C-alpha cells in the first residue's frame, strides 16, 4: 500500500476526516517531476486553524506562481490521527500530494504563537526528521518565520535558518539560493552562509555563541568567527504592499474552518504604539494597499472562491486612511452578489457610525471592544490612547443602532497594576450597562449582554514591556476573584477568565533564551502537545520537563530585568530600536502617553530601514 | 469526496453555486443562501455514482451553459453528469426517493458474507437494531431489503430509503455477519442509484420519473 492508501485507511477512524482529504477546491497540484524545488509549509496546529492563517495563504500563492517550485501545505494532525499515524508508521505528509515531509527540499514553519512550539517538535518527530539541526545530515532545511521569530532563541537548536520580517520576498530568496546551492554541490553550511548575504532577514542560530553570567542572565551573544554572521540581524521589509503579491485564488476547505471567508489585508503595521502589543512594534511601518488594488483582488477572490463574506483585515482596520470610501465601494460592488463586508478589530475611538451601518447590514453579532485596562491611569501606562468617554460614546452609539451584546476585553497583570485598576474594570462594566438603559426603550434591542473577558498579560520581547515581570500567579488569582465578586454584583454581566498555567508557559517561551529549548524537548518526550487546547494541556508533563532541565520558570516569568541586561534577543532588530523601546518603557512608568506617529514621527527607529517611513 | 459530511457538502455546493453564472434564487433573511437541496444524504465514508441536488433558479438558462458553468465550479472528483430542468410545482427530488441501490465491497470475509446473503434472501423476516439520533429501534432488516445478490466477492443490494423505512447498508452487513457468525468486516460502500416509483408503479432512477 502506498502512503495515500494508508492515510485513507486511517481516515474512517478519526474525528473530522475532512482535515486530511487534501484536494480542496483551488489547491495547487503540480507534476512533481517537473519542478526543481519541493517546499513544505507547516502550520503547527490543526487544519481549521492553519487554514485561517493569512500569511500561509500569501506565501503559498507567491511560491506556487513559480514554475520551478511546488509549495504544499502541512498541518499538525489532531492527536487522534497522530496516534494512529505513529502506530501504523505513517509519516507526516503534505496535503496536496501526500508526500512524506522528510522528502521535501525545504520545510518552512510559521511561528504564530509560542504555545505551538511543542507541535513543531512533535511534527518533526512524526516526519522522522531529527529534532536538532546539528543531527540532520540530509532531509529538508528547516526554516522558520513569523512573529515569534523576533525572539528565536527557544527554538535555536532545532532550526537551520530563521527569516525575520515580511516573507513575500525572502521566501523566494530562500528558494533561489537553494537551487544554486544544490547545483554547486557544496555542504549544508554553505547554504546557511550564503543565506546571510542572499536572503533578507536571515538569522542562522548556529553561527552564534551565547555566554551566560553566574546569575543565569546572558553575558554576551557573539557571531562565531569565520561565519560572516552580523552582530545585529535586520528584518526583511516589503515597502510597497500594493505591488506585492496577493492571492488571486484561495483554497476553499471542505469542512468549516475558523475564518470561513475572504481575508483581505488592507494594510500592515500599526502606528498606535500600544506598549503591550508586539504586533504593533514588529509589523511597523504602516503600509497600505491602494483602494484600486483592493477592489481588484476582492473581485478576483469572490469569483474564484464563492465565499459570501470579505473581511477587511489589519491590526486596526478603522485606521485605514480612506476607510469610508473603501467600505462604500466594496458594499456597492458586492451587494448584488450578496457578499457581506466585515470589519474586525474595531477601535473605540475610530468608531465609524456610517461605515459600520454600511458594513453590518447583517445580523448584529456581539460588538467587541478592547479598553484593555480599567482606569485611565493604567490605559495611559500602556498607551492605549482611549478614554472612558470614547468607550461610552461607542457603546451608546452601538446600543442605539440595535446592538445589545457587547464584549469588553481587558488584560490583567499589566505593569504597575493595582487592585484599584481591577475595580475600575467592574466600574466600566457598570457604566456600559447604564449607557444601555439611557437609550430609549423603543430604540434599543432587548436582552442586554455584557461579557467581560480578562486575559493574563504576557510581557513580549521587542516591546517597551520586554523588561517587565509577569504578575505572579497568586496575585493573578486574587485579582481574578476580586473582579469576579465585583462583577457578580452587576446584573447581566458575564465574566470570562483564563487559567494561569498557559500564560506562564507562554511567558517562558516568549522571553526565553536558548536553554529553555531543553524544556521543550523534554515536554515533547513527556507527551505535551496542543498546549493551548485545555483538553490536552499536560501540567505534570511540563513540570517534569522544567525539573529535568534544571530550569526554574520563575527566572523567565516573574523576574523584572534591569534595562542594562543583555536580553536573549538583543541581536535581533525588529525595526523599532532598543533606544525607542527603552524611552517608551520610561514614559510608561511615568504614565505618560505617546501620540500616534501619523501625527508626528516619534523616532521609533524604522527610518534606519531603506525606503521605510519616507 | 467520501469523507465530506452532508453538512459540509451543502456548504461546499453553495459556494460552488456562487462561483457560477447561474441566476440562482436565494433565501430571504439575514444570511441569504442559495436555495439548494440534496436529494438523499450520503453517509460519511460512502462513495456514490449518482447523487442529485436541486437548485432553484430565477429566470432561465440553457442546458449547455448550466452544465459548463457547474463543471467549471466543481473539482474533477465531483463530475456533473447531467442537468435537468423541472417546473416549480414538480415534486422535490428528495420526496421522490424511495430506495437506493448499493454495491458493498467487504475488505475480508467475502465468501462468508455472500453465502449469508443467500440464506438471508430465503428468509421471511430478520430482525436487527437500527441506531438513530433518537435512540435504538428494532426493524425487520429483511423487509427493508428489496433485493440482494452477489458475485461471490461483492454484494449488490436494493434498500429502502424513505423517512419512515430506511435500511443503511452497514446494518445489512452487520445482519449478514450475525448470520455468518463473524465480526462485521470493514467494507467500502458505493451508492449506485437513487430510485423512486413512476405513476405506473415502475421503479426508476429519480431523474427519470415523470418525464
Distance CA A120, CA A110 (A): 9
Cβ–Cβ gap A25/B16 under 8 Å: yes
8-state DSSP, A184: H
CB-CB neighbors (< 8 A) of B186 in chain A: 12
pLDDT of residue A346: 61
Question: For chain B, which residues lie within 8 Å of any Cβ of chain A, measuring from their own Cβ?
Answer: 1, 3-5, 8, 11-12, 14-19, 26, 30-33, 44-45, 73-75, 77, 186
**Strand ranges across the sheet with A405-412:** A367-372, A405-412, A449-456, A493-497
- From the list A12, A254, A304, the residue facing B8 with the nearest CB is A254
The residue ranges of chain B whose pLDDT is under 70 are: 211
The cell numbers describing A30, all together, are 503540480
Asked if A362 is an interface residue toward chain B (Cβ–Cβ < 8 A), one would say yes
User: Taking a C-beta distance cutoff of 8 angstroms, is the pair B33, A340 a contact?
Assistant: no
Name the pTM for this structure. 0.93
pLDDT band at A472 (very low <50, low <70, confident <90, very high): very high
* Mean of all residue pLDDT scores within chain A: 93
Q: How many CB pairs under 8 A join A and B?
A: 59
Lowest mean pLDDT among A72-76, A119-123, A353-357, B102-106: A353-357
Percent over 90 (pLDDT), chain A: 83
A420 pLDDT more than 50: yes
A457 pLDDT more than 60: yes
pLDDT of residue A516: 98
For chain A, which domains are there?
3-164+167-234 (no CATH), 243-362+576-614 (3.30.750.210), 364-498 (3.30.750.200)
Distance CA A402, CA A420 (A): 33
Residue of A nearest to B27 (CA): A338
For chain B, which domains are there?
6-94 (no CATH), 97-208 (3.30.70)
Asked if A306 is an interface residue toward chain B (Cβ–Cβ < 8 A), one would say yes
A362 pLDDT more than 60: no
Average pLDDT over residues A552-561: 97
Give tens-digit pLDDT for A309-335.
Answer: 999 999 988 889 988 889 889 988 998
**Closest by CA position to A406, among listed A494, A340, A317:** A494
- From the list B4, B33, B73, the residue facing A254 with the nearest CB is B4
Cβ–Cβ gap B30/A363 under 8 Å: yes
**Closest by CA position to A129, among listed A150, A153, A152, A105:** A105
pLDDT band at A98 (very low <50, low <70, confident <90, very high): very high
First to last CA, chain B: 30
Residue in the structure block whose three cell numbers are 543565569: A216
- From the list B8, B32, B186, the residue facing A18 with the nearest CB is B8
- Give burial (CB, 10 Å; 0-12/13-18/19+) of B30: exposed
pLDDT of residue A356: 56
CB-CB neighbors (< 8 A) of B45 in chain A: 11-12, 17
Give tens-digit pLDDT for A146-198.
Answer: 999 999 999 999 999 999 999 999 999 999 999 999 999 999 999 999 999 99
Q: What is the ipTM of this complex?
A: 0.85
Q: At what angle do helices A79-88 and A3-10 cross, to 10 degrees?
A: 130
pLDDT band at A448 (very low <50, low <70, confident <90, very high): very high
pLDDT of residue A58: 97
The cell numbers describing A476, all together, are 493573578
- Alpha helices, H only, A223-290: 278-282
CB-CB neighbors (< 8 A) of A338 in chain B: 26, 32
Alpha carbon A382 to its chain's center: 20
pLDDT band at A215 (very low <50, low <70, confident <90, very high): very high
CB-CB neighbors (< 8 A) of B33 in chain A: 308
> CB-based contacts of A336: which residues, under 8 Å, 6+ apart?
none
Q: How many secondary structure helices (H) and strands (E) does chain B include?
A: 6, 10
A347 pLDDT more than 80: no
pLDDT band at A402 (very low <50, low <70, confident <90, very high): confident
- Alpha helices, H only, B82-196: 93-96, 110-122, 141-144, 169-180
Average pLDDT over residues A33-50: 97
pLDDT band at A359 (very low <50, low <70, confident <90, very high): low
pLDDT of residue A358: 55
- From the list A254, A306, A338, the residue facing B19 with the nearest CB is A306
Amino acid at each position: 500500500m502506498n502512503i495515500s492508501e494508508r492515510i485513507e485507511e486511517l481516515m474512517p477512524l478519526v474525528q473530522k476526516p475532512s482535515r486530511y482529504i487534501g484536494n480542496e477546491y483551488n489547491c495547487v497540484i503540480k507534476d512533481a517531476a517537473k519542478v526543481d524545488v519541493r517546499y513544505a509549509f507547516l502550520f503547527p496546529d490543526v487544519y481549521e486553524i492553519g487554514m485561517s492563517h493569512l500569511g500561509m495563504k500569501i506565501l503559498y500563492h507567491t511560491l506556487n506562481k513559480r514554475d520551478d517550485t511546488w509549495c504544499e501545505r502541512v498541518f499538525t494532525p489532531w492527536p487522534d490521527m497522530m496516534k494512529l499515524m505513529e502506530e501504523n508508521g505513517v509519516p507526516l505528509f503534505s496535503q496536496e500530494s501526500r508526500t512524506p515531509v522528510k522528502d521535501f527540499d525545504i520545510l518552512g514553519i510559521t511561528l504564530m504563537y509560542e504555545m505551538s512550539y511543542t507541535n513543531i517538535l512533535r511534527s518533526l518527530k512524526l516526519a522522522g526528521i531529527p529534532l536538532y539541526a546539528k543531527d540532520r545530515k540530509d532531509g529538508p532545511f528547516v526554516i522558520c518565520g513569523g512573529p515569534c521569530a523576533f525572539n528565536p532563541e527557544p527554538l535555536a537548536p532545532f532550526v537551520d535558518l530563521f527569516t525575520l520580517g515580511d516573507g513575500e520576498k525572502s521566501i523566494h530568496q530562500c528558494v533561489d539560493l537553494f537551487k544554486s546551492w544544490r547545483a554547486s554541490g557544496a555542504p549544508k553550511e554553505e547554504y546557511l552562509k550564503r543565506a546571510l548575504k542572499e536572503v533578507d532577514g536571515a538569522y542562522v542560530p548556529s553561527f552564534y555563541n551565547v555566554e551566560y553570567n553566574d546569575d543565569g542572565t546572558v553575558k554576551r551573544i557573539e557571531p562565531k568567527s569565520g561565519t560572516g554572521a552580523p552582530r545585529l540581524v535586520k528584518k526583511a521589509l516589503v515597502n510597497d504592499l500594493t505591488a506585492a503579491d496577493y492571492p488571486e485564488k484561495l483554497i476553499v476547505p471542505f469542512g468549516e474552518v475558523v475564518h470561513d471567508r475572504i481575508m483581505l489585508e488592507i494594510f500592515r503595521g500599526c502606528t498606535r504604539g500600544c506598549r503591550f502589543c508586539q504586533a504593533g512594534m514588529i509589523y511597523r511601518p504602516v503600509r497600505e494597499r491602494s483602494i484600486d488594488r483592493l477592489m481588484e483582488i476582492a473581485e478576483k477572490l469572490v469569483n474564484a472562491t464563492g465565499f459570501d463574506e470579505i473581511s477587511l483585515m489589519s491590526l486596526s482596520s478603522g485606521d485605514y486612511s480612506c476607510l469610508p470610501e473603501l467600505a462604500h465601494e466594496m458594499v456597492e460592488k458586492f451587494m448584488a452578489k450578496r457578499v457581506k463586508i466585515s470589519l474586525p478589530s474595531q477601535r473605540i475611538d475610530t468608531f465609524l457610525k456610517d461605515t459600520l451601518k454600511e458594513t453590518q447590514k447583517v445580523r448584529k453579532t456581539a460588538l467587541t471592544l478592547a479598553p484593555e485596562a480599567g482606569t485611565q491611569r493604567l490605559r495611559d501606562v500602556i498607551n492605549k490612547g482611549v478614554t472612558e468617554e470614547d468607550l461610552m460614546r461607542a457603546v451608546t452609539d452601538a446600543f442605539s443602532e440595535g446592538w445589545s451584546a457587547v464584549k469588553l476585553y481587558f488584560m490583567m497583570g499589566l505593569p504597575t497594576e493595582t487592585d484599584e485598576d481591577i475595580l475600575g474594570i467592574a466600574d466600566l462594566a457598570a457604566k456600559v450597562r447604564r449607557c444601555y438603559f439611557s437609550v430609549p426603550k423603543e430604540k434599543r434591542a432587548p436582552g442586554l449582554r455584557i461579557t467581560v473577558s480578562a486575559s493574563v498579560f504576557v510581557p513580549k520581547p521587542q516591546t517597551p514591556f520586554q523588561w517587565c515581570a509577569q504578575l505572579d500567579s497568586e496575585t493573578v488569582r486574587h485579582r481574578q476573584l476580586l473582579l469576579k465578586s465585583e462583577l457578580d454584583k452587576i446584573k447581566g454581566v458575564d465574566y470570562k477568565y483564563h487559567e494561569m498555567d498557559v500564560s506562564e508557559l507562554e511567558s517562558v517561551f516568549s522571553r526565553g533564551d536558548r536553554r529553555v529549548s531543553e524544556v521543550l524537548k523534554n515536554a515533547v518526550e513527556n507527551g505535551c502537545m496542543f498546549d493551548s487546547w485545555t483538553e490536552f494541556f499536560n501540567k505534570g508533563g511540563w513540570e517534569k520537563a522544567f525539573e529535568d532541565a534544571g530550569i526554574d520558570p520563575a527566572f523567565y516569568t516573574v523576574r523584572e530585568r534591569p534595562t542594562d541586561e543583555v536580553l536573549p534577543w538583543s541581536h535581533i532588530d525588529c525595526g523599532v530600536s532598543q533606544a525607542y523601546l527603552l524611552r517608551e518603557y520610561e514614559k510608561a512608568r511615568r504614565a505618560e502617553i505617546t501620540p500616534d506617529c501619523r501625527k508626528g514621527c516619534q523616532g521609533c527607529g524604522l527610518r534606519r530601514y531603506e525606503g521605510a517611513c519616507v | 469526496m467520501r469523507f465530506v459530511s452532508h453538512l459540509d457538502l451543502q456548504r461546499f455546493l453553495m459556494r460552488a453555486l456562487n462561483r457560477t453564472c447561474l441566476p440562482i434564487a436565494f433565501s430571504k433573511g439575514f444570511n441569504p443562501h442559495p436555495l439548494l437541496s440534496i436529494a438523499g444524504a450520503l453517509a460519511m465514508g460512502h462513495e456514490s455514482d449518482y447523487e442529485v441536488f436541486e437548485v432553484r433558479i430565477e429566470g432561465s438558462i440553457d442546458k449547455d451553459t448550466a452544465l459548463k458553468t457547474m463543471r467549471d465550479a466543481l473539482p474533477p472528483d465531483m463530475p456533473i453528469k447531467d442537468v435537468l430542468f423541472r417546473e416549480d410545482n414538480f415534486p422535490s427530488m428528495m420526496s421522490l426517493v424511495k430506495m437506493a441501490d448499493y454495491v458493498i465491497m467487504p475488505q475480508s470475509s467475502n465468501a462468508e458474507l455472500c453465502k449469508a446473503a443467500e440464506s438471508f434472501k430465503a428468509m421471511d423476516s430478520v430482525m436487527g437494531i437500527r441506531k438513530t439520533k433518537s435512540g435504538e429501534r428494532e426493524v425487520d432488516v429483511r423487509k427493508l431489503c428489496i433485493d440482494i445478490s452477489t458475485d461471490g466477492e461483492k454484494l449488490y443490494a436494493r434498500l429502502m430509503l424513505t423517512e419512515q423505512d430506511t435500511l443503511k447498508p452497514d446494518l445489512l452487513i452487520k445482519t449478514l455477519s450475525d448470520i455468518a457468525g463473524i465480526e462485521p468486516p470493514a467494507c467500502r460502500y458505493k451508492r449506485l442509484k437513487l430510485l423512486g416509483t413512476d405513476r405506473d408503479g415502475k421503479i426508476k432512477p429519480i431523474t427519470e420519473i415523470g418525464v
